[in-house]
């Protein structure tokens, strides 16, 4: 009996030690030094008390290469989810519930537009070179370090990040700002059914002369299609589990810095 208990205790201890090592190996590096290929000079990365990295480099290319490495170290799973969302590939790892979301984003052809835009760029321009440096940093981290825990749980394979991926994520960000998919059908319905005066409740800077469709121009079939589009658009963002990129263009100034003191 004692021997059995000893064997069980050893097995539990070994499993605990193995689990601790497994999780520790996936933690981002916050102290020490490491070698990143293709740097022209050392780059200093300091994390503040909030966990925000501050990068100090001697040239722009090194700065972006180090940024890519740090970005991947801290947020690779988030980057992967954003890439898959923009490409319409979430259902592959998150299940059939995301099929409609994938269908929507494939219909928007964000990935195709990103590839077309990428092909038109000057590959010798400075913006393109820093993008390549950034992606090299991202991919160096992927190649030389364990993937995040979520990759193992969901069976996500490693894939290099490409310029098209970065541009696709930018396309998704633009889409997430485009609330018209969800708001315009509702506002147009209010105008047609209740009258334009009701739009003033929403404190909108509304100009009747800018209306493209006069009141009553939309039929029942149009409303059905618009309603479906609004629902799919909203549901896609909710199902993806990734919030919209809202809340920008606002900043706070202390009263000590203003003329009014407020």
Q: Is the pLDDT of residue 11 over 80?
A: no
**Residue 170 counted as domain residue:** no
**Residue 256 counted as domain residue:** no
Among residues 131, 163, 195, the one where a domain terminates is 163
Half-sphere exposure for 102 (CA within 13 Å, toward CB): 14
* Token pair belonging to 214: 């006069």
Beta bridge partners of 106: none
The DSSP string of the chain is: -HHHHHHHHHHHHHHHHHHHHHHHHTSPP-SS----TT-SS--EEEE-TTS-EEEE-SSHHHHHHHHHHHHHHHHHHHHHHHHHHHHT-SHHHH-GGGHHHHHHHHHHTHHHHHHHHHHTS-TTSHHHHHHHHHHHHHHHHHHHSPPPHHHHHHTPPP----HHHHHHHHHHHHHHH-THHHHHHHHHHHHHHH-GGGGGGGT----GGG-SS-TT---HHHHHHHHHHHHHHHHHHHHHT-------S-----GGGSSS--
Number of domains in the chain: 2
Q: Is the pLDDT of residue 24 over 50?
A: no
Mean pLDDT comparison of 117-126, 181-190, 207-216, highest-scoring range: 117-126
Regarding whether 228 and 116 lie in a shared domain, the answer is: no
Cα–Cα distance between 168 and 30 in angstroms, integer? 30
Per-residue model confidence (pLDDT) at position 126 = 95
**Residue 32 counted as domain residue:** no
pLDDT tens-place string over residues 120-132:
999 999 999 999 9
Cα–Cα distance between 157 and 51 in angstroms, integer? 28
CATH label of the domain that carries residue 149:
1.10.439.10
Residue 208's domain comprises: 180-240
Regarding whether 147 and 210 lie in a shared domain, the answer is: no
Q: Is the pLDDT of residue 238 over 50?
A: yes
Regarding whether 187 and 106 lie in a shared domain, the answer is: no
Regarding whether 45 and 158 lie in a shared domain, the answer is: yes
Beta-carbon count within 10 A of 91 CB: 17
Regarding whether 55 and 155 lie in a shared domain, the answer is: yes
CA-based nearest residue to 65, from 102, 26, 38, 33: 38
Chain mean pLDDT for the chain: 81
**Residue 71 counted as domain residue:** yes
Between 106 and 221, where is the model more confident? Answer: 106
**Residue 247 counted as domain residue:** no
Confidence of residue 5 (pLDDT cuts 50, 70, 90): low
Per-residue model confidence (pLDDT) at position 211 = 53
* Token pair belonging to 118: 């990428």
């Amino acid at each position: 009996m004692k021997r059995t208990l000893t064997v069980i205790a050893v097995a539990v201890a070994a499993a605990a030690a193995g689990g601790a090592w497994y999780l520790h190996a996936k933690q981002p590096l916050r102290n020490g030094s490491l070698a990143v290929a293709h740097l022209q000079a050392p780059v200093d990365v300091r994390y503040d008390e909030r966990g925000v990295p501050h990068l100090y480099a001697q040239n722009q290319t090194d700065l972006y290469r180090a940024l890519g490495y740090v970005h991947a170290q801290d947020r690779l799973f988030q980057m992967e989810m954003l890439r898959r969302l923009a490409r319409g590939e979430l259902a592959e790892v998150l299940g059939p519930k995301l099929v409609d979301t994938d269908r929507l984003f494939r219909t928007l052809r964000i990935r195709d537009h990103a590839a077309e835009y990428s092909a038109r760029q000057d590959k010798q321009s400075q913006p393109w070179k820093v993008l390549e440096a950034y992606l090299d940093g991202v991919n160096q981290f992927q190649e030389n370090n364990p993937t995040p825990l979520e990759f193992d749980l969901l069976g996500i394979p490693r894939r290099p990040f490409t310029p098209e991926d970065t541009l696709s994520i930018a396309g998704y960000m633009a889409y997430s700002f485009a609330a018209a998919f969800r708001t315009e059908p509702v506002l147009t319905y209010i105008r047609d059914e209740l009258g334009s005066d009701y739009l003033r409740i929403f404190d909108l800077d509304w100009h009747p002369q800018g209306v493209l469709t006069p009141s009553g121009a939309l039929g029942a079939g149009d409303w059905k299609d618009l309603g479906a589009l609004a629902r799919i658009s909203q549901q896609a963002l909710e199902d993806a589990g990734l919030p919209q990129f809202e809340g920008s263009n606002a900043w706070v100034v202390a009263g000590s810095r203003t003329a009014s003191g407020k």
